[in-house]
Chains A and B, each alone.
Chain A
Amino acid sequence: MEMIKVGMADLKACKFPDALTTLGLGSCVGIVLYDPITKVSGMAHIMLPDSTKISNNSNIAKFADTAVDQLIKDMINLGANPTRFVSKIAGGAQMFSFSSKNELMRIGERNIEASKQKLADLKIPILAEETGENYGRTIEFYSETGDLRIKTIGRDIKII
């Protein structure tokens, strides 16, 4: 089994038995898509909610909307059937406890909302999530079991 690393503003798809990981998610959101029959998996580490709001939007893995579309294409290329797709999401923390209503500071929350909206538009069910709060997360997705392992500093490992 190989552990494939997904960077910031990056996405990867893989087949069984490989696993996917992204390190130190903060306000970004990790979106995992999974076909439970073929066990083809995909992970995106998105930074911003909406590609249509940004002029320099050539990096499609950076945005919730375009990253999910690309991930689906890559997974279909590996033999996945999109009608079976399920998802898990993690991240979207507010790393600094700003009291102000500054838009800049709500980015984690907006990334979560946008990810959920995109998945809802595509009718992909979200099986589990570990989002919000104020701490960083490292996530690992295992194609064999469909488990998403979440590691944090000073908290127990969580599996969703």
Chain B
Amino acid sequence: MSELNFDNIDSVQIDILREIGNIGAGNATTALSQMVNKRIDMGIPVVKITDFTELSEVLGGAENPIVGILLSVEGQINGMMMFILEQASAHTLINMLMGRELDAFESFSEMDLSALKEIGNIISGAYLSSLSSLTNLKIIASVPYMAIDMAGAILSVPAIEFGKIGDKALLIQTDFGEGGKENLYGFFILIPDMPSYKVILDSLGVY
């Protein structure tokens, strides 16, 4: 396989990355559902390849506050995994978990922040373990790190990684919500380093 570059990715590669997103997000949603003890439905993941200049537009503009949970990934695949939520979705999720009114939007308490981090951990862990069993590759994730800040600032972290390869970023958007209402919007961004893309696609027999 030649060097992968999102500026000229082919449709087979996109299909594979979408399928990884689908399986990963499906597992993550199940994990989330068990955590909040409610049925959580998931929409079909959308794989987007966008210019990184437009990356933050997907999340309501560069200055829109978002929650980002980042894990570094090591093993046979190296890179980062990021789970991103709009602030409103983060509140809804926390409220679900804590059994509060869903539309209570006070500022996050220490307890909320810690719970949010744990949600990110479980969701990302489920995502990565499905990727691991799909590819038969050993993947180890770090503890989660969280930041709540402007979308542009948080997304600069994955954008810079993608920036080393080209001018485009790949993100997998997953909408999910309680009982048919898909009112939570989350994004997974898997950011393998350059050699790891080849490792993933090779492990699935794609050349």
Contacting pair A24 B163 (CB below 8 A): no
User: Whole-angstrom distance between the alpha carbons of A59 and B150 in the complex?
Assistant: 24
Interface contact tally, CB-CB below 8 A: 103
- Please, which residues of chain B bring their CB within 8 A of the CB of A54? 164
- Please, which residues of chain A bring their CB within 8 A of the CB of B151? 24
Quick one: which of B135-170 are within 8 Å of A by CB? 142, 145-157, 159-161, 163-167
Interface of A is mostly: loop
Contact of A8 among B5, B53, B72, B165 (CB under 8 A): B53
Q: Does B65 belong to the interface (CB within 8 Å)?
A: yes
Contacting pair B160 A97 (CB below 8 A): no
- Please, which residues of chain A bring their CB within 8 A of the CB of B65? 153
- Please, which residues of chain A bring their CB within 8 A of the CB of B25? none
Interface residues of A (CB under 8 A from B): 7-10, 23-28, 47-48, 54, 56, 59, 62, 93, 95-98, 100, 102, 104-105, 107, 134-138, 153
- Given A95-B149, A134-B147 in contact, is the A104-B161 Cβ separation under 8 Å? yes
Contacting pair B145 A98 (CB below 8 A): yes
- A67 smallest CB distance to B (angstroms): 12
Contacting pair B152 A102 (CB below 8 A): no
Contacting pair B159 A8 (CB below 8 A): yes
- Please, which residues of chain A bring their CB within 8 A of the CB of B186? none
User: Whole-angstrom distance between the alpha carbons of A98 and B69 in the complex?
Assistant: 12
- Please, which residues of chain A bring their CB within 8 A of the CB of B150? 23-24, 26, 136, 138, 153
- A29 smallest CB distance to B (angstroms): 10
